[in-house]
Amino acid sequence: QVQLVESGGGLVQAGGSLRLSCAASGRTSGIGAMAWFRQAPGKEREFVAAMKWSGITKNYADSVKGRFTISRDNAKNTCYLQMNNLKPEDTAVYYCAAAADPRNWRLTPASAYDYWGQGTQVTVSS
C-alpha cells in the first residue's frame, strides 16, 4: 500500500503562485507514475498533470500548460505541483495520485491511478 499526503494549499489572489507537495510513504517502490487532479464544486474530478516516477516525461492538461509544473524528489518520496499565474477557475480541491504502472503517466482518467491523497483546497480570488 502507498499513502499520499498533500500540503501547500491555501488562498491566493489571481496572478499569484502556490506550490503543492505530495509526500508518499509505505510501499513507495511500487509507484510508477504520479499525478495531480482537481475537483471544483459541482464538477467531476479532472486531470491536471502527471509524470513517471523515474524519468522526465510529463503530461499536462491544456488548461494549465505553461503555468503549472509537476516535479518530484525521489530522495524525499515527494511530488510537487508549482502553480503560477493562478486564475479564479483554478479554484478546486487538488488531489495527488499514484499509479503502479509507469505507463499511466500518459493517461488522464482518474481510474488509471491506484492511490489517492485526501486533497488540499486551493482558492484563487479575483
CA distances from 8 to 25, 44, 105 (A): 18, 22, 23
Low-confidence ranges of the chain (pLDDT < 50): none
Burial 9-31 (b: 16+ CB within 10 A, else e): beebeeeeebebbbbbeeeeeeb
- pLDDT for res 19: 98
Q: How many CB atoms lie within 10 A of CB 104?
A: 23
CA distances from 99 to 55, 61, 103, 111 (A): 15, 18, 9, 10
- pLDDT for res 55: 78
Grid cell listed for 114 = 491506484
- pLDDT for res 56: 84
